[in-house]
Amino acid sequence: MKKEFSMERKRYTLCILVEDIPGVLSQVARLFSRKGYNIESIVSGETDRPGITRISIELLGDELMIDQIAAQCRKLLPVKAVKILDEESCIRREIALIKVRAADRAARDEIIQLVNIFRAKVIDVGKESLTIWVFGSQSKNTALIGMLEDFGILEIAKTGTIAIERGRSTIYDNNKLREEYDYGKNVL
């Protein structure tokens, strides 16, 4: 039987562990552009292991496409492990810094109330503006930004999405999914 691939376009996060060497981020990113896939967001940061960086790439696609790109990623020399995470299997978070217009006291109060409801924080106060820090799922952050639009948003800085698997299993567990790892995951 041919493997059934879901054709539904979903939001996936690809977590890639790479060696921290010059050019590695561009090498990974280029693979996506070469294959014609759009990256929704990309985040790169240190891990608990020295010399190993975790790149989290968020993209919209169907299952076959994600499988393909993961397989291609695994072939890159600096790549140590690749994990495909979909909405059900992981927790996703992002941070946004939002500078919003707060011309008078009333506006300021109203914004602070909103910020409290969303469990965000005011991290800078000026006479005409507030800067807000919000941490959460993409939908929560988008909702807050939507509410703040009424006051006039001056500037937004967002990180991309980072994701981690629910439960005990980690990206270091190589033998969990047969399809993914059994076959010598990175045979060059």
Partner 1 sequence: MKIRATQAIMECLLEQGVDTVFGYPGGTILNIYDELYRYQDRIHHVLTAHEQGAAHAADGYARSTGKVGVCFATSGPGATNLTTGIATAHLDSSPVVFITCNVGENLLGKDAFQEVDSTGIAMPITKATFLVRDAATIPDVMRQAFAVAATGRPGPVLIDFLKNVTAPSQMIDYDFVPWRENRRLESLRSLNASHQLKNPEPNRQDIEKLLEMIGQAKKPFLICGGGVVRGRAHREFGEFAEKLDAPVAITVMGGGGFPGGHSLTTGMIGMHGSRASNVACDECDLLIAVGCRFSDRVALDPATFASQAKIVQIDIDRAEIDKNVLTDHHIIGSARKVLALLNEKMPQYHHDVWKQYILPMRAPSVAAESEVLTPQQILDVIQRQAPKDTMVATDVGQNQMWAIKYLHFNYPGQLLTSGGFGTMGFGLGAAIGAQMGNPDKRVIHITGDGCFRMNCHELCTVEHYHLPIISVVFNNGTLGMVRQWQNLIYDKRFSATTLDRGPDFVKLAEAYGLKGYRVRTRVEMEAALDKALADGCGAVIDCVLDIDEMVRPMVAAGSPITDFLLKEGTT
Interface contacts to partner 1, rule CB under 8 A = 1-3, 5, 22-23, 26-27, 30-31, 34, 64, 67-68, 71-72, 74-75, 77, 79-81, 182-188
Minimum distance from CB of 5 to partner 1 (Å)? 8
Amino acid at 107: A
| CB of 159 vs partner 1, minimal distance in Å | 26
Contact (Cβ atoms closer than 8 angstroms) between residue 25 and residue 79: no
Comparing CB distances to partner 1, the nearer of 16 and 145 is 16
Describe the crossing of helices 24-34 and 63-75 by its angle, rounded to 10 degrees: 140
Task: Give the DSSP H or E segment for 31.
Answer: helix 24-34
For residue 73, the cross-strand partners are: none
CB nearer partner 1, residue 126 or residue 183 = 183
> Residue 41 CB, nearest distance to partner 1 (Å)?
22
Nearer to partner 1, 70 or 90 (CB): 70
Residue 165 CB, nearest distance to partner 1 (Å)?
A: 20
CA 127 to CA 86: how far, in whole Å?
43
Of 22 and 126, nearer to partner 1 (C-beta) is: 22
Name which of 3 and 168 has its Cβ closer to partner 1. 3
For 51-77, b where at least 16 C-beta lie within 10 A, e where not — what string? ebbbbbbbbebebebbbebbeebbebe
* Closest distance of CB 10 from partner 1, Å: 18
Alpha-carbon gap, residue 165 to 153, rounded angstroms? 33
- Contact assessment for residue 47 and residue 61, using Cβ atoms and an 8 Å cutoff: no
